[in-house]
Amino acid sequence: MGRVVGIDLGTTNSVIAVMEGGKPMVIANAEGVRTTPSVVGVSKTGERLVGELARRQLVLNPRNTFANIKRFIGRRYDELTDESKRVPYTVRRDPEGNVRIVCPQLSREFAPEEVAAMILRKLAEEASRYLGEPVTGAVITVPAYFNDSQRQATRDAGRIAGLEVKRILNEPTAASLAYGLDRRDNQTILVFDLGGGTFDVSVLEVGNGVFEVKATSGDTQLGGNDFDRRIVDWLAEQFLEAEGIDLRRDRQALQRLIEAAEKAKIELSGVSVTDINLPFITATEDEPKHLETRLTRSEFEALCEDLLERMMRPLRRALKDARLQPQDIDEVVLVGGSTRMPMVQQLVRSLIGREPNQNVNPDEVVAIGAAIQAGILAGEVKDILLLDVTPLSLGLETIGGVMKKLIPRNTAIPVRRSDIFSTAENNQTMVEIHILQGERQLAEGNKSLGRFKLTGIPPAPRGVPQVQVSFDIDANGILQVSALDKTTGREQTVTIQGASTLSQEEVKRMMKDAELYAQQDRQLKARIEKRNRAQTLIAQSERRLREISLDFGLYFAESKRRRIESTIRELKDYLERQDDRGLDLALAELQDALFDLNQETAARLRDEEGEGFFEPLKQTFASLRGDGNRDFERSWDDRGGDRWDADPWDRSRRSTPSYGYDDRRSPVSDPYRGERWVEEQTSMSRREPVRDRNGGNGSVRPEPAPRRGRPTWEEDQPPRRDRSSQPPAKPASGRRWNDGWDDDDDEWF
């Protein structure tokens, strides 16, 4: 069974966390960062990119890079504001009135749920890589003020990504879980959540493991991106006045303005003034144009005064619904990166009269809370009870277009409410149920969640038939509506699919497409990794060949080195031709050849350890002579002599039998062998006679001659030099110097 994780699907960034050892832990992505940009892109080669790789191509490829997708999920095209539609990529309306994202590179359109599913799949793959096991389930957070259609669209995105969505959790509720997990005292907490695209305020009572949401409010079209747009408009207007060019009409220039505005907003949280420099922002026929200006914190706050006023209304409404005063709040928890702005923190201080708690990371606290909820569902976390509420009122349309509320907002969920309705006309056999969500009195001012019909009602006068309509909200906030004719017992039940109008068939098709593209991405990733492996092995092999040439000479293991060089050439050719099969074979061949070379190198190193200090010198001279691959039978002696030259008189190296004893002084036993000057002799010369062992009067015994003739000496045999410090002893006085030969004849003395 796979693991269940917690995912914070944000407008700007997304985070994934998991319970490890009873503690929540945020998982870093492949780039080593704990937050992943909620950006999806398609490269010019057709490769799908998610996260930081997609964000890098925002300026160069804006039409095929999609950000802030959370603002479109679960919404119809008519519900979008002009501000939300002002993005570098193309957003259009499909025949059913839903939002579609146009991708020119692939010549197709994506639903917002599909784009969100790519982000979720990326996060799940990162978690699987870290955990070493598949991730099959997830708790996904949404803004508390998301309506039913947006929640259902988020659930569909999880299904398309191949995840079983265990729970849809409100972001402020998740933040309160992360904040109050280890707290046992009773507290009233206000969670102020200002993300990249949404704003929520929730009031909770926390104590003894019980988290009860008292009230929630918010604005799904207000977030940190709106503050960025104020800077973008300010920059564009300044440039328009100075140069007469509207940069907002250029996609690449607009994206550069958005990035510069976000950077300036972040810098103004720590400094009072920031410089904005955008060279070559555009060009005319005469010259390129640059944007250089300075923005102060006071000017920025003046640009965003109306946004601060929009945040006050949900805050006051949440306190009113919870029947609390500002002084009743014990702690204020800030959630979302945009809460780092000083003017937002000052707004909270002025309204609540309390310093915000900044002990939690506003970027990660929601994902940590989602991981805790996943641990609760998996049984890893116990003694925690979470009581959430529905953010908006639910009801149906009655006569005259009036909304009848069945479930008021801030009702604890799960909940089931019913009411009895009747027909509006005589002999009416069919009733249409129109489900609404919102706070307006008239139906047209609220969000339409769907319609369904109850048929088979017996004809009767108006007001006589009784139809029981039940609203059932589960723990995920997903609504199920049923209608029952109490006369016949006929019942009709429908689960609201939401404004995305993604049918089950469409969801299944998108799931198959996502799996297909995921498989293609895995294959492409495997090819890239294989090419990287090949290039790395080529570099290692070439470096190894250079090292061996320096250490052992140019002629060491010549055949194996030629094999490696040939395989490297083949591997480079396969890389250039993109031949995957040939690449596999060449990779295996190069690995085997490199292994054989390393084996021979290791054997030579072991031999050198026992041969002494002069072995490298011997190999160097041998390489210069051209016989570097010859194995020497003899080593140099301890005096540096050339003892590997064979002794022509050594019978042990022949197949002929030797005498029982031999008094000749062997090369090994002679301390001056190869060290004193020996006069070069002809082929008939003989060695010095050996003294009698019995020591008799200096008599000598001739050395026995070899049986098969005596070997001839090369006339150009170089003399051997005596390097010892002890010269040969001179003969005693009165005795003749004996050099071994008589000058008069050719006989022994």
Residue 594 phi/psi, 5-degree rounding, is -65, -35
Instruction: Name the band, by pLDDT with cuts 50, 70 and 90, for residue 749.
Output: very low
Closest CA to 538 of 495, 502, 591: 591
Q: Please, is 523 exposed, middle or buried when counting C-beta atoms within 10 Å of its C-beta (0-12, 13-18, 19+)? A: exposed
Indicate whether 465 and 420 sit together in one domain: yes
Give residues with Cβ within 8 angstroms of 602, minimum separation 6.
none
For residue 641, being part of any structural domain is answered with yes
| 486 carries an active-site annotation | no
Range 383-399 average pLDDT: 82
The pLDDT, as a whole number, for residue 675 is 45
**Number of alpha carbons in the 13 Å side-chain half-sphere of residue 150:** 24
| 171 carries an active-site annotation | yes
Whole-angstrom Cα Rg for the chain: 45
Indicate whether 406 and 493 sit together in one domain: yes
Range 163-174 average pLDDT: 89
Q: How far apart are CA 69 and CA 50, in angstroms?
A: 13
Indicate whether 192 and 291 sit together in one domain: no
Q: How far apart are CA 260 and CA 150, in angstroms?
A: 31
pLDDT in tens, 610-666: 555 556 666 666 656 554 444 444 445 555 555 455 555 555 544 445 444 444 444
Burial 142-171 (b: 16+ CB within 10 A, else e): bbbbbbbbbbbbbbbbbbbbbbebbbbbbb
Is residue 23 helix, strand or coil? strand
β-pair partners for 213: 204
Concatenated DSSP letters of 690-742: EEPTT--TT-EEPPPPPTT-PPP--TTPPPPP--SSSPPPPPPTTS----SS-
Give residues with Cβ within 8 angstroms of 710, minimum separation 6.
683
The pLDDT, as a whole number, for residue 500 is 47
Indicate whether 194 and 233 sit together in one domain: no
User: Which one of 368, 388, 408 terminates a domain?
Assistant: 388
Indicate whether 77 and 173 sit together in one domain: yes
Q: Is the pLDDT of residue 26 over 90?
A: yes
- The residue from 193, 200, 262, 485 that is catalytic is 193
Q: Which of 74-78, 110-114, 478-482, 676-680 has the lowest mean pLDDT?
A: 676-680
Count the domains in the chain: 5
Owner of token pair 């002809």: 682
User: Which one of 640, 660, 678 terminates a domain?
Assistant: 678
**Number of alpha carbons in the 13 Å side-chain half-sphere of residue 433:** 29
For residue 696, being part of any structural domain is answered with no
- The residue from 148, 171, 397, 521 that is catalytic is 171
**Number of alpha carbons in the 13 Å side-chain half-sphere of residue 57:** 20
Indicate whether 206 and 336 sit together in one domain: yes
Q: Is the pLDDT of residue 143 over 60?
A: yes
Higher pLDDT residue, 543 or 700? 543
- Domain with residue 404: its CATH number is 2.60.34.10
| 214 carries an active-site annotation | no
User: Cα–Cα distances in Å, from 438 out to 268, 396, 471?
Assistant: 37, 10, 15
Indicate whether 89 and 180 sit together in one domain: yes
Tell me the percentage of the chain whose pLDDT exceeds 90: 21
Q: Is the pLDDT of residue 456 over 50?
A: yes
Q: How far apart are CA 297 and CA 345, in angstroms?
A: 14
The pLDDT, as a whole number, for residue 569 is 87
Q: How far apart are CA 583 and CA 389, in angstroms?
A: 59
For residue 729, being part of any structural domain is answered with no
Show the domain range for 627. Answer: 613-678
Indicate whether 315 and 302 sit together in one domain: no
Write the Ramachandran bin of 733: left for phi over 0, alpha for psi from -120 to 50, otherwise beta. Answer: beta
Is residue 140 helix, strand or coil? strand
Closest CA to 350 of 383, 395, 309: 309
Q: How far apart are CA 667 and CA 646, in angstroms?
A: 10
Q: How far apart are CA 686 and CA 740, in angstroms?
A: 8
For residue 210, being part of any structural domain is answered with yes
Indicate whether 467 and 356 sit together in one domain: no
The pLDDT, as a whole number, for residue 707 is 54
Closest CA to 674 of 665, 663, 686: 665
- Most confident listed range (273-282, 440-449, 617-626, 691-700): 273-282
Q: How far apart are CA 384 and CA 375, in angstroms?
A: 10
For residue 516, being part of any structural domain is answered with no
β-pairing, 394-397 vs 412-413, is unpaired
User: Cα–Cα distances in Å, from 266 out to 33, 225, 327, 702?
Assistant: 18, 12, 31, 106
Q: How far apart are CA 412 and CA 386, in angstroms?
A: 10
The pLDDT, as a whole number, for residue 275 is 93
- The residue from 70, 214, 265, 289 that is catalytic is 70
Q: Is the pLDDT of residue 222 over 70?
A: yes
The pLDDT, as a whole number, for residue 590 is 87
pLDDT in tens, 288-320: 888 999 999 999 999 999 999 999 999 999 999
β-pair partners for 690: 701
Indicate whether 198 and 333 sit together in one domain: yes
Higher pLDDT residue, 679 or 88? 88
- The residue from 8, 126, 205, 364 that is catalytic is 8
Indicate whether 337 and 351 sit together in one domain: yes
The pLDDT, as a whole number, for residue 103 is 92
Write the Ramachandran bin of 32: left for phi over 0, alpha for psi from -120 to 50, otherwise beta. Answer: left
SS3 content of the chain, % helix, strand, coil (to 5): 35, 25, 40
Q: Is the pLDDT of residue 695 over 80?
A: no
Indicate whether 92 and 125 sit together in one domain: yes
The pLDDT, as a whole number, for residue 14 is 93
Report which DSSP code applies to 5: E
Range 691-700 average pLDDT: 48
Q: How far apart are CA 190 and CA 120, in angstroms?
A: 29
Q: How far apart are CA 145 and CA 352, in angstroms?
A: 21
- Domain with residue 91: its CATH number is 3.30.420.40
| 193 carries an active-site annotation | yes
For residue 79, being part of any structural domain is answered with yes
- Please tell me whether the peptide bond between 414 and the residue prior to it is cis, using omega within 30 degrees of 0: yes
Residue 239 phi/psi, 5-degree rounding, is -70, -35
pLDDT in tens, 242-263: 888 888 888 888 889 999 999 9
- Number of helices (H), then strands (E), in the chain: 15, 30
User: Which one of 651, 678, 705 terminates a domain?
Assistant: 678
